[in-house]
Structure 1
């Protein structure tokens, strides 16, 4: 099973690389403002997870520079488990006004990004 998952993961990464979406073009001032807003966002993900790829593609389409953290590696794994509440990816950590929200489900994350940056 491990070998099949590994092979499928590499195929997903290859197809994502070959068919990568284009980023939106903005004025440098606008992009700097968007980058500042993205500093409060972190995406916990696995590199070859198809749902994580789906979210990363949405981030690329919007030209968002959101920090991506590999949830298989420490200390990101334990932070996601202990603070987020469950070991599930993708997970978007949103920090606003001293509060932290953990958003799961790729469709919810993409809807949030579309609403906030679309």
Structure 2
């Protein structure tokens, strides 16, 4: 099991942006696809307090339920970009 868990909805452009960054950085991660209905997204809501995606958790850095694609991409770049 990877340290990073990525909650996404297939076809979501914001999720695709995060997935691209994860792949560009060659990070290992687990994916959880959330249901299309917000009312059924209990798993991501438990982690982040909201039903929107994308959301990531990173056990290695005590990050749980980070939302907003721009914030996630910035976090990944700062944490794993090596720049």
Give the alignment's TM-score, normalised by structure 2. 0.79
Structure 1 counterpart of 2:3: 40
Aligned to 2:26: 63
> CA RMSD for the aligned pairs?
2.3
Q: Which has the higher relative contact order, 1 or 2, with Cα contacts under 8 A spaced 6 or more apart? A: 2
Structure with greater helix percent: 1
Give TM-score, length-normalised by structure 1: 0.58
Equivalent position of 2:45 in the other structure: 81
Cα deviation, residue 66, structure 1: 1.1
| Largest Rg, 1 or 2 | 1
Cα shift readout 1:49-90 (whole Å, capped 9, x = no counterpart) = 0000011111111111211110118xx932212332110100
Q: Which residue of 2 aligns with 1:12?
A: none
Q: 1:82 to 1:49 in 2, by over 3 A?
A: same
Flag the structure with higher strand content.
Answer: 2
Q: Report runs of 4+ in structure 1 exceeding 6 Å deviation.
A: none
User: Which ranges in structure 2 are unaligned for 5 or more consecutive residues?
Assistant: none
